[in-house]
Chain A
């Protein structure tokens, strides 16, 4: 069963624009929500992560927004660059389940110059 649902599956954004990717989860035991960036032929790279005790976290051009009551979280990529073109995965884990990661289906982002 898919416990983390990610949307959209793909998006195209102009250089300098904002990319927004959304994820929804079902398991209220989840207590850690990372985002990973993956380029073709490479493994996922940890981008930014958040815990449910904060509603927003910003690192450079990347921001996570977290809504605990709605069980949703999102990634915003500001000032998108062609080098940001990649597949992005949201994930969730819980200490109770040994911190194994449950991933969303991924969003392929294409930034047009």
Chain B
């Protein structure tokens, strides 16, 4: 049984560019959340989606956006990249409802130069 899969695993972008990160949740999981983990810190919540609707948003600028597709996969988009956006971007998959166990993918390492 496949876990949470994220692509790409590594990415290098230039300041001002745009990036799209992708996530496929565990089969049967309907909710996807995105987190940003800066080196040496704990993950910070960015977005939560369930049934294609945004259910939560963290304290991130409007340059960050996301969406969820009918198959429950998700994309995170970041526009006008800044050096400070360099981080590990994590996708977490949950069933939703009372079951709150969140399972993370291996992440996408984004480096902005």
Give chain A's interface residues, CB within 8 Å of chain B: 4, 6, 32, 34, 36, 41-46, 49, 89, 91, 93, 95, 97-106
Contact = CB atoms under 8 A, between A and B. Distances in A.
Interface string B88-106: 1010101000101111111
B16 interface: no
Interface of B: 4, 6, 33, 35, 40-45, 48, 55-56, 58, 88, 90, 92, 94, 98, 100-107, 109
Contact of B44 (A6, A46, A93, A103): A103
B56 A44 contact: no
A90 to B, nearest CB: 9
A98 B42 contact: no
A4 B100 CA distance: 18
B100 A99 contact: yes
B58 A100 contact: yes
Contacts of B101: 34, 46, 49
Contact of B41 (A32, A42, A102, A106): A106
Contacts of B41: 105-106
Contact of B106 (A36, A43, A46, A91): A43
Given A32-B100, A106-B42, A100 B56 contact: yes
Contacts of A98: 48, 55-56
A101 B102 contact: yes
A73 to B, nearest CB: 15
